[in-house]
Structure 1
């Protein structure tokens, strides 16, 4: 049995042009079963970090390892296979296919992975039932509320039993009631052992959902905070002492 982290980035940098790097020498790890929030303003490097972990982009230097796989070394086909097998993704705007029913939307990842139609249908039906939206299985996404569509997106993300769930601003397009519903769902999934990386700019969502909050500023890790007292009621008693971090090369003070 290994104690290797689920996510392990070592001195990872991503540059796109001659300007400042989008990600600057980031070293961080996330243990299996953790729920960790990546917090930062627009342009802080959150999306770049997410894309590297998902295998949608490659670092300019450094390494990206997820669940024992060197993601930075995968080719195009290997990256696609990795995402199908190991990653579930939840997006701000759902990314559901409007011309497919709810059930068919949820089945898509399994069918792409080669699962038989019967088995995929059974798995999708089971997920929709566990998420309380099985009565909408034959409906089309545009007929559902935002919160219901996000539950469909969560079911789709969990279809192939991913080791890691990536949630990119999962409540950003929702009203407050639906956002709270999704937040509680993420808490429940994590309580069942699902590893979750939550990318957000919402400080309250990060503090009340994740066990740790990693703050990015200008592509570098500025703080790694242990959240104290976050629970299913949405309250948070506060933050633990901030963990000292190695500063990027050349940083002063």
Structure 2
């Protein structure tokens, strides 16, 4: 099965002589898999996500995403790769308040140079799929938290990314909105989207993920699809 993520001998240190924030770590994520990354605060979850997203580079080892060795790319190349191949969803949405829902969703496609008509059609498709078409011309500040997160998911998917990264996507939501976003992630996984979900919420992990790993002090201590890590 095609691997969307391959981490080989990856270590990340923020202090040259200090204890690694992550690793050494070997990890693969297959196409169509939904992986939940769990663990206590400071365990290395955000570091792992940042390495996979190309927002940071490993001190040692190789990070390959969608067939591309991203730790060797320049900052310009990384930005272009992220726009085309990775969708990202954040806890606090990161929408642009002065743009309408439609414009927020279309922005990543516009940055990759996709034709305007194609971009508009894709945004309309996603708004209908995610149940937010009626909000096409309103601004994020007029929406509930759950609706804003649906807009953020649509924006993340507009370029048909190989990988969707979700960082505590229900952390800022009330219970009902969190349930809606959880169901949305389940549906995306069922549709074949590869997802990596960082969360403290084990209910979310159990509902959305086909596989769960746990990090503690930068080390892999549990992989639900493998023998217990010792």
TM-score by length of 2: 0.97
2:176 equivalent to 1:192: no
Distance 1:41 1:223 in 2: 13
- Asked whether the equivalents of residues 11 and 61 of structure 2 are also in contact (C-alpha less than 8 Å), the reply is yes
Mark the runs of 5 or more structure 2 residues left unpaired by the alignment.
Answer: none
- Mapped to 1, the partners of 2:2 and 2:10 lie a distance apart of 18
**Quick check: 3-12 or 83-92, which moved more?**
3-12
2:53 is the counterpart of 1:41? no
Q: Residue 141 of structure 1 corresponds to which residue in structure 2?
A: 140
Task: Write out per-residue CA displacement over residues 140-196 of structure 1, whole angstroms, 9 at most, x where no aligned residue.
Answer: 000000000000000000000000000000000000110010000001001010000
Contact 2:182 2:204 (8 Å CA) reproduced: yes
- Inter-partner Cα distance in structure 2 for 1:175 and 1:5: 35
Q: Is the 8 A contact 2:221 2:228 kept in 1?
A: no
Q: Specify the alignment match of 2:83 in structure 1.
A: 84
Match of 2:3 in 1: 5
The residue number in structure 2 matching 1:156 is: 155
Counterpart residue number, 1:127: 126
* Aligned equivalents of 1:191, 1:87: Cα separation in 2: 18
Is the 2:189–2:195 contact (alpha carbons within 8 Å) kept by the matching residues of 1?
A: yes
Q: Does 1:61 align with 2:60?
A: yes
Structure 2 partner of 1:243: 227
Listed as ranges, the gaps of 5+ residues in structure 1 are: 227-241, 248-253
Within 5 A, what are the aligned runs for 1:97-116? 97-116=96-115
Distance 2:150 2:203 in 1: 21
Task: State the 1:117 CA deviation.
Answer: 2.0
For the residues of structure 2 that align with 1:110 and 1:209, how far apart are their CA atoms? 27
- 4+ runs deviating over 3 angstroms: none
RMSD: 1.1
- SS of residue in 2 equivalent to 1:185: helix
Q: TM-score, normalised by structure 1?
A: 0.88
Q: In the TM superposition, what is the alpha-carbon distance from 1:43 to its structure 2 partner? A: 0.6
Cα offsets for 1:186-210 (capped at 9, x unmatched): 0100101000000011122111210
- Residue aligned with 2:224, SS: strand
Which is higher, the Rg of structure 1 or of structure 2?
1
Secondary structure of the structure 2 residue equivalent to 1:6:
strand
Q: How do residues 196-207 of structure 1 correspond to structure 2 at under 5 angstroms? A: 196-207=195-206
The equivalent of 1:229 in structure 2 is: none
Counterpart CA distance in 2 for 1:116 and 1:203 is: 41
CA-to-aligned-CA distance 1:89-126 (integer Å, 9 cap, x gap): 00000000000000000000000000122221111111
Partner residue, 1:26: 25
Query: Which residue of 2 is the match for residue 50 of structure 1?
Result: 49
Aligned partner of residue 54 in structure 2, secondary structure: coil
